[in-house]
């Protein structure tokens, strides 16, 4: 990858201007092994529910959690979502980042960009489809008054609610009951991760954590 690409700063559109991430790589310096993945994505007891192990034989390994090199300007602890790449990055110390595959919405995800903070966190969140979702997918009308949290809930095991200026943006980072959607633009909502990954982020990230959502890629391979 050319040096001028790996170190450039990317700008997201108005009204919010973002300093882009530097480049990360999927293979050089990554530290994942098959046994580690099996451990990370195994069966989880999460009372009152149990989360099934992922079938790693049918999942693209590129969307699994990886530690990768990072050369950019965001502070450790920042979460950066790249809509174009279908990836979420948790910036760490030592010029490293944790990279997660995500599923992105076909519509709603394209309406949000810029900076936010995690305003609240919820275990096994309830879900209420927006009017736009119901208009596009009429079967969602059955849940117009909300759907309880649980294994069949589209928000999965956890949800991180993004706020801006102390107001809920209605944009969420959440789990999923459709692991096959990770790495694709197939959801009708926001940013979704494997339940195993959203639980990891939920446990690690505090309310007030900075989140950057950008539509440009950050040149990972």
Task: Map out the domains of the chain as residue ranges.
Answer: 3-214
Cβ proximity of 197 and 191 under 8 Å: no
Instruction: State mean pLDDT over 145-160.
Output: 94
> Which of residues 208 and 128 earns the better pLDDT score?
208
- Residue 217 has a pLDDT of 63
Coil vs helix vs strand at 65: coil
- Residue 23 has a pLDDT of 33
Helix (H) or strand (E) holding 200, with range, is helix 195-204
Q: What is the CB neighbour count within 10 angstroms for residue 164?
A: 16
Q: Which CATH class is domain 3-214?
A: mainly beta
pLDDT tens digits, 126-150: 988 888 778 888 888 998 999 999 9
Our answer to whether residue 21 is catalytic in this structure is: no
- Residue 153 has a pLDDT of 93
Helix (H) or strand (E) holding 37, with range, is helix 34-40
Instruction: State mean pLDDT over 173-190.
Output: 87
Q: Is the pLDDT of residue 44 over 90?
A: yes
pLDDT tens digits, 71-113: 888 999 999 999 889 999 999 999 999 999 999 876 554 568 8
| Residue of 86, 174, 196, 215 marked active site | 174
- Residue 221 has a pLDDT of 30
Helix (H) or strand (E) holding 195, with range, is helix 195-204
Lowest mean pLDDT, pick from 13-27, 146-160, 176-190: 13-27
> Which of residues 205 and 139 earns the better pLDDT score?
205
Which residue is associated with the tokens 């789990």?
Answer: 175
Q: What is the CB neighbour count within 10 angstroms for residue 21?
A: 26
Q: Is the pLDDT of residue 195 over 50?
A: yes
| Residue of 21, 190, 196, 215 marked active site | 190
Phi/psi zone of residue 165: left (φ > 0), alpha (ψ -120 to 50 degrees), beta? left
């Amino acid at each position: 990858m050319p040096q001028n690409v790996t170190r450039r700063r990317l700008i997201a559109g108005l009204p919010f201007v973002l300093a882009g991430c530097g480049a990360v790589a999927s293979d050089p310096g990554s530290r994942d092994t098959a046994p580690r993945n099996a451990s990370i994505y195994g069966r989880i007891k999460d009372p009152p529910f149990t989360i099934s192990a992922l079938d790693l034989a049918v999942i693209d390994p590129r969307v699994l959690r990886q530690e990768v090199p990072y050369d950019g300007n965001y502070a450790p602890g920042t979460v950066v979502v790249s809509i174009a790449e279908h990836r979420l990055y948790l910036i760490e110390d030592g010029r490293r980042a944790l990279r997660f595959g995500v599923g992105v919405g076909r519509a709603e995800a394209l309406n949000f960009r810029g900076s936010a903070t995690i305003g609240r966190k919820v275990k096994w969140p309830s879900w209420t489809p927006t009017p736009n979702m119901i208009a596009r997918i009429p079967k969602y009308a059955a849940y117009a008054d909300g759907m309880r949290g649980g294994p069949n809930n589209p928000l999965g095991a956890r949800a991180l609610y993004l706020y801006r200026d102390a107001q809920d943006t209605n944009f969420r980072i959440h789990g999923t009951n459709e692991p096959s959607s990770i790495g694709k633009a197939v959801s009708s909502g926001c940013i979704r991760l494997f339940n195993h990954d959203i639980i990891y982020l939920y446990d690690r990230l505090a309310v007030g954590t900075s989140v950057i959502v950008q539509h440009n890629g950050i040149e990972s391979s």
